[in-house]
Amino acid sequence: MTRSIESVAYISRNQGRPFRRRALLLLALATTCVFIVPGPAVAQEIDPEVLLAHVKYLASDELAGREAGEPGADSAAAYIAKQFESYGLEPPGTESYRQPFEITTTISIAPDSRLLLRSGRGSMTLELFKEWVPFNFSGAGSASGEVSHAGYGLRDEDYEELESREGPGIALLRGGVPEDFDPHGSGVDPSPRRKATAARDAGAEAVLITVLQLRVPQAGDPPHSLGIPAVQIIESEEILAWLEDDDLSIVLEAKVEPLRVAVYNVVGQLPGADPAVADELIVVGAHYDHLGMGGPGSLAPDLEEPHNGADDNASGTALLLGIAQYFAAHPEARPARSLVFVAFSAEEMGLLGSEYFISHAPFPLEKVTAMLNFDMVGRVREGKLQVFGTETAEEFAALLDSLDAASPLALSYVGDGYGPSDQTSFYAREIPVLHLFSGTHSEYHRPEDDWQLINAAGMAEVGALAIGLIRELGERPGALTLIKQERPQARGGGGYGPYLGTVPDFGEVEGGGLRLSGVREGSPADQAGLQGGDVVIEFAGNEVLNIYDYTYALRDHAPGDTVVIKVRREGEVVELTAVLGRRQ
Ligand SMILES: [Zn+2]
């Protein structure tokens, strides 16, 4: 489970917690009867022991939390590919089951990077990694000259000295907040990235921020560069004394580079039983990566130990394998349409694997009838299972009702197709999606999410239901009727904050900007003419290099504001005007 849509500011305030709130959204059940495609009794076909064996391996300490780009994730990818091969799945038009792509996991810092302080008291070279280090969002570059003191950088007036300078300046800011400041009451985000962005937008060519503890950039912390050098300085007594000198100047060389690593989606397919529609596809997916040894996505950020991710998402990956094995071993049960099984990587970093897969699909997207996603299906309690995306196609609710009637599980529905997992990348391409989810729990995104807590029998029931669903989707005559969703109405009136209705793509964009995977039907973004594929480069006069710049700029506006948005579209820069709505 990863970050939710269009609320990065929300995420940056509550790192890792958005899903709990969304998970609590429940929807009313629909009641009509439909014809079920008869098939062999399948409940017992999925052996819970086999599923648990997959979970035990994937969630073992040996794989160290399967962080994308780390050896544990590569071992998981090799394991999945080997399983696909042993079941007899076909690789997708290539030799390999693995679809490689690159991600930026963090930055590398050259050891000869340097920071020198100068003032009337003399000069002092700070020790890299001990007294200073670039932030993970730092750009490469050098700067020298007098600094502008900008206090805590939480108020506009803090940047007056910087803005009044001829040409770019160097901003020095205190980290954190002053004693008398209540960040929650003020709604101001005191994070270093927010401050550094404000300093850049105020004309800084480099930013220095003091910190209580250095946070050396580590893997799993996608940088999204600020575009200028941004460094942390430890708040030792001696250094703070220097930093208070009015005549302070610096010489800074931040030699940083994005660290790009190859990661892999793993893909295998089974041809459909009916040549007439075998070119039509049901995509079944699950992400196999997780948080590794902890870090930014963890809800126990101080614990550096394997985040085993047994439920998130070794369980979904195990179910993907179990169902692939079932259909491979039972050609008589195979539906008319073909089945594509995809284990995604880098979901925890912002759906990067599914976004890459959907934009480099080994088949035409219009051939995809539906996408079924398994993310956290290992903790069925009291037979309850949630299904997300039920209002992305008209036929889903009735179909699920009939399967629910035949299953020991009790289903509850959430209509939204945009959720904090990989189905979002497909729904943004107008493909009906369903996400099966057994509910959140207090081990979510913590090291304690271990195999011992997994309900394997419950997983097998989810598997049996999913097989029924896949057969239905794979056999039904004709396409599903896609529903382009407007934003779900919040319960009980009044909202807060500005709303635009874009669906951001968290992947990196060559040359900077924020690519949109799509826009919500009927939203202010839709009305303004924004489209999926557009790259936002400016928002109300603010440069947008990445998702953070975009979110900060949006958040600095109010519902009802008219804003000019510049996008790159097919090599052209297009200017659009939007009237912001109210977020619910
Ligand atoms: Zn997950």
Residue 391 lies in a domain: yes
Query: How many angstroms does the Cα of residue 283 sit away from the middle of ligand 1?
Result: 17
Name which of 119-128, 148-157, 186-195 the model is least confident about.
186-195
Instruction: Give the distance, in angstroms, between the CA of residue 85 and the centroid of all CA atoms in the same chain.
Output: 29
Residue 220 lies in a domain: yes
Query: How many angstroms does the Cα of residue 344 sit away from the middle of ligand 1?
Result: 10
Query: How many angstroms does the Cα of residue 426 sit away from the middle of ligand 1?
Result: 16
Query: Domain containing 358: what range?
Result: 52-96+260-475
Best CA proximity match to 143, nearest among 79, 185, 206, 225: 206
Query: How many angstroms does the Cα of residue 19 sit away from the middle of ligand 1?
Result: 10
Query: Would the pLDDT of 147 be above 80?
Result: yes
The amino acid sitting at 147 is V
Query: How many angstroms does the Cα of residue 395 sit away from the middle of ligand 1?
Result: 26
pLDDT at 5: 39
CB 282 within 8 A of CB 270: no
**Do 337 and 469 share a domain, yes or no?**
yes
Last residue of one domain, picked from the residues 254, 274, 304 = 254
As a whole number of Å, the end-to-end CA separation of the chain is: 22
**Do 291 and 331 share a domain, yes or no?**
yes
Query: How many angstroms does the Cα of residue 238 sit away from the middle of ligand 1?
Result: 45
Query: How many angstroms does the Cα of residue 529 sit away from the middle of ligand 1?
Result: 32
pLDDT at 24: 44
Query: How many angstroms does the Cα of residue 444 sit away from the middle of ligand 1?
Result: 9
**Do 281 and 384 share a domain, yes or no?**
yes
**Do 301 and 419 share a domain, yes or no?**
yes
Best CA proximity match to 439, nearest among 460, 410, 465: 410
Give residues with Cβ within 8 angstroms of 74, minimum separation 6. Answer: 264
Give residues with Cβ within 8 angstroms of 53, minimum separation 6. Answer: none
Residue 389, token pair as written in the block: 């995306």
Query: How many angstroms does the Cα of residue 425 sit away from the middle of ligand 1?
Result: 14
Query: How many angstroms does the Cα of residue 309 sit away from the middle of ligand 1?
Result: 8
**Do 347 and 419 share a domain, yes or no?**
yes
What is the Rg, in whole angstroms, of the alpha carbon atoms belonging to the chain?
Answer: 25
Backbone angles phi, psi at 581, to 5 degrees: -95, -165
Query: How many angstroms does the Cα of residue 343 sit away from the middle of ligand 1?
Result: 12
Best CA proximity match to 76, nearest among 282, 314, 296: 314
Residue 226 lies in a domain: yes
Instruction: Give the distance, in angstroms, between the CA of residue 252 and the centroid of all CA atoms in the same chain.
Output: 33
Query: How many angstroms does the Cα of residue 372 sit away from the middle of ligand 1?
Result: 14
**Helices and strands in the chain: count of H runs, count of E runs:** 15, 24
Query: How many angstroms does the Cα of residue 291 sit away from the middle of ligand 1?
Result: 10
CA-angle at 285, arms to 280 and 287, nearest 5°: 155
**Do 190 and 297 share a domain, yes or no?**
no
Q: Please give the C-alpha separations between residue 381 and each of 438, 443, 467, in angstroms, as whole numbers.
A: 7, 14, 20
Instruction: Give the distance, in angstroms, between the CA of residue 155 and the centroid of all CA atoms in the same chain.
Output: 30
> Which CATH number is 358's domain given?
3.40.630.10
Q: How far apart are CA 375 and CA 313, in angstroms?
A: 6
Residue bearing tokens 């919040």: 490
Q: How far apart are CA 435 and CA 413, in angstroms?
A: 10
Question: What pLDDT digit, counting tens, does each position of 449-495 carry?
Answer: 999 999 999 999 999 999 999 999 999 999 999 998 765 544 444 45
> Which CATH number is 507's domain given?
2.30.42.10
**Do 322 and 450 share a domain, yes or no?**
yes
Name which of 110-114, 183-187, 206-210, 545-549 the model is least confident about.
183-187
Residue 46 lies in a domain: no
Query: Would the pLDDT of 254 be above 70?
Result: yes
Query: How many angstroms does the Cα of residue 377 sit away from the middle of ligand 1?
Result: 10
Name which of 257-261, 278-282, 333-337 the model is least confident about.
257-261
Number of domains within the chain: 3
The larger pLDDT score, comparing residue 188 to residue 150, is at 150
Q: How far apart are CA 539 and CA 558, in angstroms?
A: 13
Q: Where are the alpha helices (DSSP H) in 277-346?
A: 316-329
pLDDT at 444: 96
Residue 137 lies in a domain: yes
* Secondary structure (DSSP) of 352-406: HHHHHHHHT-SS-GGGEEEEEEESS-S---TTEEEEE-TTSBTTHHHHHHHHHHH
Query: Would the pLDDT of 27 be above 80?
Result: no
- Residue 87: count other Cβ atoms within 10 Å of its Cβ: 17
Residues in the chain: 584
Best CA proximity match to 268, nearest among 281, 259, 256, 253: 281
Question: What pLDDT digit, counting tens, does each position of 183-227 carry?
Answer: 666 777 889 999 999 999 999 999 999 999 998 998 776 778 899
Mean model confidence pLDDT for the chain: 89
Query: How many angstroms does the Cα of residue 162 sit away from the middle of ligand 1?
Result: 43
Q: Determine how β-strand 122-125 pairs with β-strand 98-109.
A: unpaired
Give me the mean pLDDT over the 101-126 stretch: 95
Collapsing DSSP to helix, strand or coil, 199 comes out as helix
CA-angle at 12, arms to 317 and 494, nearest 5°: 100
pLDDT at 155: 87
Half-sphere exposure of residue 567: CA atoms within 13 angstroms, side-chain side: 21
Query: How many angstroms does the Cα of residue 314 sit away from the middle of ligand 1?
Result: 9
CB 257 within 8 A of CB 140: yes
Collapsing DSSP to helix, strand or coil, 229 comes out as coil
Last residue of one domain, picked from the residues 254, 279, 302 = 254
Query: How many angstroms does the Cα of residue 355 sit away from the middle of ligand 1?
Result: 15
Query: How many angstroms does the Cα of residue 351 sit away from the middle of ligand 1?
Result: 10
**Do 57 and 143 share a domain, yes or no?**
no
> Which CATH number is 129's domain given?
3.50.30.30
Query: Would the pLDDT of 124 be above 90?
Result: yes
- Give me the helix-helix angle, 316-329 and 456-475, nearest 10°: 50
Last residue of one domain, picked from the residues 231, 254, 277 = 254
Query: How many angstroms does the Cα of residue 329 sit away from the middle of ligand 1?
Result: 28
Query: How many angstroms does the Cα of residue 2 sit away from the middle of ligand 1?
Result: 6
Q: How far apart are CA 259 and CA 201, in angstroms?
A: 26
- Report the 3 state secondary structure along 516-548: EEEECCCCHHHHHCCCCCCEEEEECCEECCCHH
Query: How many angstroms does the Cα of residue 439 sit away from the middle of ligand 1?
Result: 11
**Do 403 and 425 share a domain, yes or no?**
yes
Query: How many angstroms does the Cα of residue 421 sit away from the middle of ligand 1?
Result: 7
Query: How many angstroms does the Cα of residue 504 sit away from the middle of ligand 1?
Result: 18
**Do 379 and 420 share a domain, yes or no?**
yes
Name which of 9-13, 132-136, 234-238, 435-439 the model is least confident about.
9-13
Residue 284, token pair as written in the block: 């079944």
**What is the share, in percent, of the chain residues with pLDDT greater than 70?**
90
Q: What is the DSSP letter of 311?
A: I
pLDDT at 52: 98
Query: How many angstroms does the Cα of residue 287 sit away from the middle of ligand 1?
Result: 7
Give me the mean pLDDT over the 119-125 stretch: 95
Collapsing DSSP to helix, strand or coil, 76 comes out as helix
Query: How many angstroms does the Cα of residue 230 sit away from the middle of ligand 1?
Result: 31
**Do 230 and 333 share a domain, yes or no?**
no
Query: How many angstroms does the Cα of residue 379 sit away from the middle of ligand 1?
Result: 13
Residue 365 burial by Cβ neighbours in a 10 Å radius (0-12, 13-18, 19+): middle
Query: How many angstroms does the Cα of residue 525 sit away from the middle of ligand 1?
Result: 28
Query: How many angstroms does the Cα of residue 311 sit away from the middle of ligand 1?
Result: 8
Query: Would the pLDDT of 507 be above 80?
Result: no
**Do 399 and 433 share a domain, yes or no?**
yes
Residue 34 lies in a domain: no
Q: How far apart are CA 397 and CA 433, in angstroms?
A: 12
Question: In this structure, is the dihedral angle defined by the CA atoms of residues 458, 447, 433 and 51, taken in order, positive or negative?
Answer: negative
pLDDT at 26: 45
Query: How many angstroms does the Cα of residue 542 sit away from the middle of ligand 1?
Result: 33
Residue bearing tokens 């109210």: 582
Mean pLDDT highest for which of 144-148, 223-227, 486-490, 549-553? 144-148
Query: How many angstroms does the Cα of residue 516 sit away from the middle of ligand 1?
Result: 22
Question: What pLDDT digit, counting tens, does each position of 276-321 carry?
Answer: 999 999 999 999 999 999 987 899 878 889 999 999 999 999 999 9
Residue 88 lies in a domain: yes
Query: How many angstroms does the Cα of residue 447 sit away from the middle of ligand 1?
Result: 14
Question: What pLDDT digit, counting tens, does each position of 74-85 carry?
Answer: 999 999 999 999
CB 539 within 8 A of CB 553: yes
Query: How many angstroms does the Cα of residue 375 sit away from the middle of ligand 1?
Result: 5
Residue 19 lies in a domain: no
Query: How many angstroms does the Cα of residue 432 sit away from the middle of ligand 1?
Result: 20
Query: How many angstroms does the Cα of residue 3 sit away from the middle of ligand 1?
Result: 10
Q: How far apart are CA 73 and CA 348, in angstroms?
A: 12
